[in-house]
Structure 1
Amino acid sequence: MLHVYTGNGKGKTTAAIGLAIRAAGADLRIYFAQFMKSLAYSEQKILQAMPQIVLQTTGKPFFIAEEGTIDKESIAKFDTDVVVFPKGNPPADYIELIEQGLQKLEAALNNQHYDIIVLDEINVALFFGLIKKEQVEHLLNLIPTNSEIICTGRNAPDWLIDRADLVTEMKLIKHYFDKGLMGRKGIED
């Protein structure tokens, strides 16, 4: 089964983590691949501590945004924690990093069976052009049909939604970020 957790609201990664922890409690094997994230998030400690979960992170300690998708105030607020790139021209080093993560994931899937495979922020990597549709389709085709696949991130493409068995949209209604509050340890990071 293919699950897609998307939308502009909070909770996509959190839902995937909850599912992974539940599956680990049932003694299932989980491969949790985080795209566009470095080892800087609190949840990674608990995921790494669980023997049923293999955690792979592929990212840098900042986030990226395409020109026109982030306002000047946000750029100023995030300072060096954001890299803004021209539309259709994502940073080459980031594309290479994501490619390396895909190769590592593919090798793991070819050598071991996992009951749950989480592709955290894969939708965002697709949206920004860091990964191609064909690469994700190839990856999805490698995964056995008796495994659950979870794809997270805002801006899930229509083709992935059409292919999915379950789609959940997290909808932003109100967020304290709009008041200028930054991410808090244990809540957002």
Structure 2
Amino acid sequence: MAELTDQELNFLYSQRIDESAVIDCSRMRSHGYKWHMEQEGYLWCIAPKSCYAGHRLRSRAGHCIQCDTARIAFVKRHHDRAYIYIAGSLQTKVVKIGNAIWPERRVAALNTRYYGDITDWVLLYHAKYEEAGRIEFDAHGRLFGYRRGVKEIFRCNYQMARTALMEATQGYLGEDEWERRWAAISYSFEG
């Protein structure tokens, strides 16, 4: 295995990434290491080629995580275990699909921050999933034609949003699943 430099070890430590979470792909071909990372379940690697700044640490997508540390948070969020929730607004007849560690707090924050210029958000559904960010983005893609300005808000009813989420999870029900009684009836407005 290629040795991590002291600078790379310090960087990983500063980003709260354990060195055991980094796979050595330094001797692989450039187009094969991403596939290998996915098969082995790694999010970070020592890449075959350095970036323009001389860094070797990459995400599975091939981005230099030392040049752009924001990518680390994005990748972690995409692969972390979290709640996916559906919130609805009767006033504006829209729903929102998002992910959060505490969905109840998130929906309260949506109202206090006037998210999407809306103040009557109600939590309709939540369940905990592995790779919550990936599932959330997949569900968003399935509802793309119903998008309303803000990328996570859709002009569709609850049942359409719930169906998109179930398709994104391939029918897998998450842990600690909760659904508001009468959500399907109350939020059954036309999209």
Query: Bigger radius of gyration, 1 or 2?
Result: 2
TM-score bracket for the superposition, by shorter chain length: under 0.3
TM-score, length basis structure 2: 0.21
Larger relative contact order (CA 8 Å, sep ≥ 6): 1
TM-score, length basis structure 1: 0.21
